Structure 1
Amino acid sequence: MLLRPPCLAVVVRSLPLFRHCGTRFGFKCEFGVMGRESLTSKAANFRICNVSGCATELLEVRSEDPTLHVLFIPGNPGIVTYYKDFVESLYDQLGGSASVTAVGHISHSKKDWENGRFFSLQEQIDHKVEFMRQEMQNSRTPLLLVGHSIGSYISMEILRKCPEKVTYCIGLYPFLTLNPGSMKQSMIKNISASSIICAAVSLIVASLGSLPSRFSRFIVANSLGKSWSPLAIKATCTHLLQYHTMRNVLFMAMTEFKQLPEVPDWAFLRANREKIAFLFGLDDHWGPLHVLEEISKTIPEITLAIEREGHTHSFSCTEAGSVWVAEHIVSLIKARILTSNQRI
């Protein structure tokens, strides 16, 4: 929701990663050479595409000969520029053998492409499913879904709707169920439930965005973004401090609280346990550790990990957090590749 290789225990099951329509795929990069040292860094490109009549912002790094495509689903706000460091780091650490695409949420952007229309969580889910079908319909490259916060829930729903297309699904700091014990969630729920309060908050935010850039950046840097990277501060000032963006962020949040269950869908998780992995954070009210404990007890086969490095839920707002989480994802992929190769 709103905006840590590693010193953690990662449980990796003995299951092949690269299977697609009955065919097993191997990763062309060897375990020992897959990393940023083997590749010149490549900048992520920004582009806009049309999905079901809606302008959709993408941030992507394309491999010349991909053996894997990583599709990243952001949290809320769904502003792809928050994840630029993460997307580039993930591409680098995969040695250039995978394309990485981050797809933004509708109307979570600087320009009001949709003329003030609000989009619910379900509409954002449908949008991502349609994007995948439109952009990857004829691709036989294995697809790895990575979701952050509510993006983890969206990724699960994509897996539910298109199980034949998705090879593996990783949820980062996942917002999967409601947390009645969280005061922050209760406060955001109450704010988002009132259209009058949402409009007032959005007007205040937009007024900050209308200030000269040096002033708005100073305010953001000294309030929300004291430890944030310049990239995250710029993304906030450019995209989030807009009336239509904030209204959509709050409207989507309101529908999240209506749609998300109080307990996970155990039947779905159990049926897809071979395809799912989660990374939880310490002291994260969106993905509290009691949810991890419930999943571990109920479906111990699912790969679970806890980030203990202090990068927090908003990992993409710092370069160190972006690099660490990318390393974690690559460690999962490497382990699966080794397992898959041993089975061939």
Structure 2
Amino acid sequence: MDERLAFLRAESPSSLPLPCSFTHRAPGASGEAELNYWPSRRGSIQAPHHLMLFILGNPGLLGYYPPFLNHLHSLLPPSYALLATSHIGHSTRIASPKEPLDLPQQLESKIELVKSLTKYLDGWAKENGRSHHALPKISLMGHSVGAWLSCEIMKKLNTDPQPENWPIQRGFLLFPTLGWISNTWNGWTLWPIFHRPVKPLLPLLSPLLRPLLPYISLPPTSLSLVRSPEVIKHVLHLSKSEMQLIRDPDIDWHRSQNIEDKQQGLFGVWAGGNLDGWVGKDGPLVQEALGGLGGGRVKTLEGVPHAFCLTQANSEAVAEAVASWINSIPQDTNVTPGSEPKNEPLGGTVIPM
């Protein structure tokens, strides 16, 4: 058994999530990534029946997401476990590699993780006496560029012509950036920070800004990022790679994920109206490929921005949208969160990307 995944058998801690990490060994994509784990509520004596792997956006800092993931975990069936993965180099707690990873390298690291999880969970379930047809299922969920990574992983691993044989059962896309990021509103306006001469200078500003931080209203995770020049370097390197490489979306593939069996394929959550500055014309194209608002695979959330994870109200609205698919709860395709004030922090419409 892969000792890198031994945390999956840990007893449920007194508080969730369980902090852990995974050491990647993929060629050209090695390094340690920070993880958070929510075991299934029925305990860790047996392998979970279903594991949902959440891939973060960029910056890939886990501290942005506990309000969303805690609420989602509470809504999932008790046989579901939830695992969130950051990106290599995107942690203020784990040392970053000297050279930052680009988008293809981060993709290879995620493919390694999914393959390792599949092998480990299958072996664990067989120890429990489960048959081949009762082995654990894996679903992916990604925010922003994490949604793009989820799609690419599914393309590479779900190659069997029969969907019931796919190693990844479903994918849930949250405010996905699936095409032409550099041509979006935020892509245009923030272009300078991803290129010379500004890009290499930004990490150097971190020490200069520290005396000002007590007087600036930022989420705690954003404060930790500003204090970490190495992580800033990794974040900007991945951002530039996204701008260069995320171009034409594979609409035919997305259309192939709109299958009759709702236990398989893709589902997506988008911001209503023009609230998402990181999503352009790819949004309507992918929504249409998945059957549109009336097809059961697409939801739009009015008043919820791209960086939904920065407030409790928006985090809960997105968690409930995802859980409604998993639990088959009837729900309108246009969802409006409660009346709780959002009080978006500084940068709430910009990060994560």
Relative to 1, partners in 2 of residues 1:335 and 1:112: Cα closer, same or farther, differing over 3 Å? closer
**Distance in 2 between residues matched to 1:55 and 1:117, nearest whole Å:** 13
Matched, 1:314 2:304: no
Q: Which residue of 2 aligns with 1:287?
A: 279
Match of 1:50 among 23, 32, 53: 23
Relative to 1, partners in 2 of residues 1:254 and 1:292: Cα closer, same or farther, differing over 3 Å? closer
**Distance in 1 between residues matched to 2:313 and 2:200, nearest whole Å:** 35
Q: Which residue of 2 aligns with 1:200?
A: 201
Structure 1 unmatched runs, 5+:
1-40, 226-232, 338-344
**Distance in 1 between residues matched to 2:207 and 2:109, nearest whole Å:** 26
Q: TM-score, normalised by structure 1?
A: 0.75
Q: Which residue of 1 aligns with 2:258?
A: 273
- Percent identity at matched positions? 22
Per-residue deviation, 1:177: 0.7
Structure 2 unmatched runs, 5+:
1-13, 122-134, 159-165, 260-264, 331-353
CA deviations 1:253-279 (Å, max 9, x no partner) are: 111111111x32022112222300111
CA deviations 1:77-113 (Å, max 9, x no partner) are: 0111211121211111114331111000111111462
Name which structure has the greater RCO, CA cutoff 8 Å, separation 6+. Answer: 1
Equivalent residues in 2 for 1:232-251, closer than 5 Å:
233-251=219-237
**Distance in 2 between residues matched to 1:203 and 1:179, nearest whole Å:** 26
Q: What SS does the aligned partner of 2:65 have? A: helix
**Distance in 1 between residues matched to 2:290 and 2:69, nearest whole Å:** 30
CA deviations 1:44-86 (Å, max 9, x no partner) are: 1111221114111001111125322110001000111211121
Q: Which residue of 2 aligns with 1:305?
A: 299
Residue 285 of structure 1 aligns with an amino acid whose one-letter code is G
Asked if the contact 2:96–2:230 (Cα under 8 Å) also holds between the matched residues in 1, the reply is: no
Q: TM-score, normalised by structure 2?
A: 0.73
**Distance in 2 between residues matched to 1:207 and 1:133, nearest whole Å:** 42
Relative to 1, partners in 2 of residues 1:143 and 1:318: Cα closer, same or farther, differing over 3 Å? same
Q: Which residue of 2 aligns with 1:124?
A: 106
Per-residue deviation, 1:280: 0.6
**Distance in 2 between residues matched to 1:299 and 1:77, nearest whole Å:** 28
Q: Which residue of 1 aligns with 2:176?
A: 174
Residue 213 of structure 2 aligns with an amino acid whose one-letter code is S
Q: Which residue of 2 aligns with 1:109?
A: 91
Q: What SS does the aligned partner of 1:114 have? A: coil
Relative to 1, partners in 2 of residues 1:137 and 1:89: Cα closer, same or farther, differing over 3 Å? same
Q: Which residue of 1 aligns with 2:58?
A: 76
Q: How many residues align?
A: 279
**Distance in 2 between residues matched to 1:302 and 1:273, nearest whole Å:** 9
CA deviations 1:220-246 (Å, max 9, x no partner) are: x1xxx4xxxxxxx22112245311111
Q: Which residue of 2 aligns with 1:148?
A: 143
Match of 2:37 among 60, 85, 88: 60
Asked if the contact 2:67–2:309 (Cα under 8 Å) also holds between the matched residues in 1, the reply is: yes
Relative to 1, partners in 2 of residues 1:105 and 1:239: Cα closer, same or farther, differing over 3 Å? same
Residue 293 of structure 1 aligns with an amino acid whose one-letter code is P
Asked if the contact 1:292–1:304 (Cα under 8 Å) also holds between the matched residues in 2, the reply is: no
Asked if the contact 2:77–2:327 (Cα under 8 Å) also holds between the matched residues in 1, the reply is: no
Per-residue deviation, 1:135: 3.1
Match of 1:93 among 75, 97, 100: 75
**Distance in 2 between residues matched to 1:112 and 1:143, nearest whole Å:** 26
**Distance in 1 between residues matched to 2:238 and 2:97, nearest whole Å:** 16
**Distance in 2 between residues matched to 1:160 and 1:279, nearest whole Å:** 20
Residue 198 of structure 1 aligns with an amino acid whose one-letter code is K
Asked if the contact 1:58–1:101 (Cα under 8 Å) also holds between the matched residues in 2, the reply is: yes
Q: What SS does the aligned partner of 1:56 have? A: strand
